Amino acid sequence: MKNKQSKILLIYTGGTIGMVKEYTSGVLKAFDFKKLVDNIPELGQLDCAIDSVSFKKPIDSSNMNPTHWVSIASLIESHYAAYDGFVILHGSDTMSYSASALSYMLENLAKPVIFTGSQLPIGDLRTDAKENLITSIQIAALKEKGEAVIQEVGLYFENKLFRANRTTKINAEHFEAFASLNYPILAESGVHLKVYHENLWRGSKRKPLKVHTVLDDKVAILKLFPGFNRELLQSVLHIPGLKALVLETYGAGNAPTDSWLISDLKKAIAKGLYIVNVTQCSGGSVIMGRYETSMELERMSMINGRDITTEAAITKLMYLLGSEVSGKSFGTIFETSLRGEMT
């Protein structure tokens, strides 16, 4: 490793970014990270020292699961003292889920953890991978007065740095694949790399990093739609061992007023199921009680997801259940912003 200003660890998990096209067959294959600098000579010009570590078997992010999140968190924990920042190369499909999960798992994070990927492989002529990777490394290396500028989990894609747990993948075609409709961007890359300091997350007190590795996957997501029937609801509410449910409602947190729906949900909550009201809209917030169609949900003490994304909600449930938060405090803690995931 060269003796440069910041030390950055790249963690390659898989995804399109790390694939190269074989000249002869045209097949996309996982990238050999030992040859990283050979393939992207521009990395040598950066004012930081870069090491890399790769998943033994890089994966398409559709195959991501909480066990992989624990691997990423553990890698960060074991290298935390030795590096100034971390860049996680990850497929874009489930990047918002993984990055949201990591934001909870890394309590008291004081260094940058930047997720990035690309829509085209790094070997493609028109690739978006190089800019995404190079700028992510630059962002992870940013320091002011010896302190990391970014002290949270971010997601960098197509010129924008987002708070990771505010993002959603919104496009499978455009380079601009992610959006954060309920929170402004943290930084932007144009002629200059512009950081919006007022939007950055800062933990209240300087405490040592605490890595949480227990996640509980006894959770589900249920999306309402016109025609949603009782059979479907019952089948979900009766999943053996189910502990928490994200209910994706309409608009500002509204649901049909059918008496079967209200009474089944009420019963499930009374039996101890945690149900969170999250809007299907990509932007805006649940406001329970604003319309008649959400009054009953408010009365039955459904947890208010406000402006949280589904990705951040489901992973927050896994994290809180894994941390053995239970009883009455569960709803209160869920409704509290832990890592800037809700307003």
B/e letters for 235-250, b = 16+ CB within 10 Å, e = fewer, are ebbeeeeebbbbbbbb
What does the alpha-carbon distance between residue 334 and residue 317 come to, in Å, rounded to a whole number? 8
- Name which of 18 and 154 has its Cβ closer to ligand ASP: 18
Angle at 201 between CA 308 and CA 72, to 5 degrees: 75
The answer to the question of residue 61 lying near ligand ASP (CB under 6 A) is yes
- Name which of 66 and 340 has its Cβ closer to ligand ASP: 66
Closest C-alpha to 256, from 226, 232, 223: 226
Task: List the one residue from 117, 154, 253, 331 that touches ligand ASP (CB under 6 A).
Answer: 117
- Name which of 14 and 331 has its Cβ closer to ligand ASP: 14
Give the binding range for ligand ASP (CB under 6 A) out of 46-54, 85-93, 237-245, 298-306. Answer: 85-93
Task: List the one residue from 93, 128, 158, 311 that touches ligand ASP (CB under 6 A).
Answer: 93
What does the alpha-carbon distance between residue 152 and residue 103 come to, in Å, rounded to a whole number? 7
- Name which of 93 and 307 has its Cβ closer to ligand ASP: 93
What does the alpha-carbon distance between residue 315 and residue 307 come to, in Å, rounded to a whole number? 15
Give the binding range for ligand ASP (CB under 6 A) out of 11-19, 105-113, 183-191, 280-288. Answer: 11-19
Cα 23 from chain centroid (whole Å)? 34
Given a contact cutoff of 8 angstroms between Cβ atoms, the answer to whether 154 and 100 are in contact is no
Cα–Cα separations (whole angstroms), residue 163 to 157, 179, 187, 196, 340: 11, 10, 10, 12, 8
Q: Quote the least distance from Cβ 269 to ligand ASP, whole Å.
A: 35
Question: Is residue 315 flagged as an active site residue?
Answer: no
Q: Which of residues 203-232 bind ligand ASP (CB under 6 A)?
A: none
The answer to the question of residue 51 lying near ligand ASP (CB under 6 A) is no
The answer to the question of residue 16 lying near ligand ASP (CB under 6 A) is yes
Give the binding range for ligand ASP (CB under 6 A) out of 14-22, 181-189, 284-292, 307-315. Answer: 14-22
The answer to the question of residue 96 lying near ligand ASP (CB under 6 A) is no
Tally Cβ neighbours within 10 Å of residue 343.
11
Q: Quote the least distance from Cβ 133 to ligand ASP, whole Å.
A: 13
- Name which of 58 and 85 has its Cβ closer to ligand ASP: 58
Indicate which residue of 16, 94, 116, 315 is catalytic.
16
The answer to the question of residue 58 lying near ligand ASP (CB under 6 A) is no
Task: List the one residue from 39, 40, 60, 289 that touches ligand ASP (CB under 6 A).
Answer: 60
Q: The tokens 């890595």 sit on which residue? A: 211
Given a contact cutoff of 8 angstroms between Cβ atoms, the answer to whether 94 and 66 are in contact is no
The contacts of residue 258 (CB under 8 Å, 6+ apart) are: none
Give the binding range for ligand ASP (CB under 6 A) out of 29-37, 40-48, 87-95, 204-212. Answer: 87-95
The answer to the question of residue 112 lying near ligand ASP (CB under 6 A) is no
- Name which of 60 and 298 has its Cβ closer to ligand ASP: 60
CB burial of residue 151 (10 Å; 0-12, 13-18, 19+)? middle
Q: How far apart are the first and last CA of the chain?
A: 41
Based on C-alpha coordinates, what's the Rg of the chain?
A: 21
The answer to the question of residue 124 lying near ligand ASP (CB under 6 A) is no
The answer to the question of residue 15 lying near ligand ASP (CB under 6 A) is yes
Q: How many residues does the chain have?
A: 343
Given a contact cutoff of 8 angstroms between Cβ atoms, the answer to whether 113 and 106 are in contact is yes
Catalytic residues: 16
Q: Which residues bind ligand ASP (CB under 6 A)?
A: 14-16, 60-62, 91-93, 117, 119
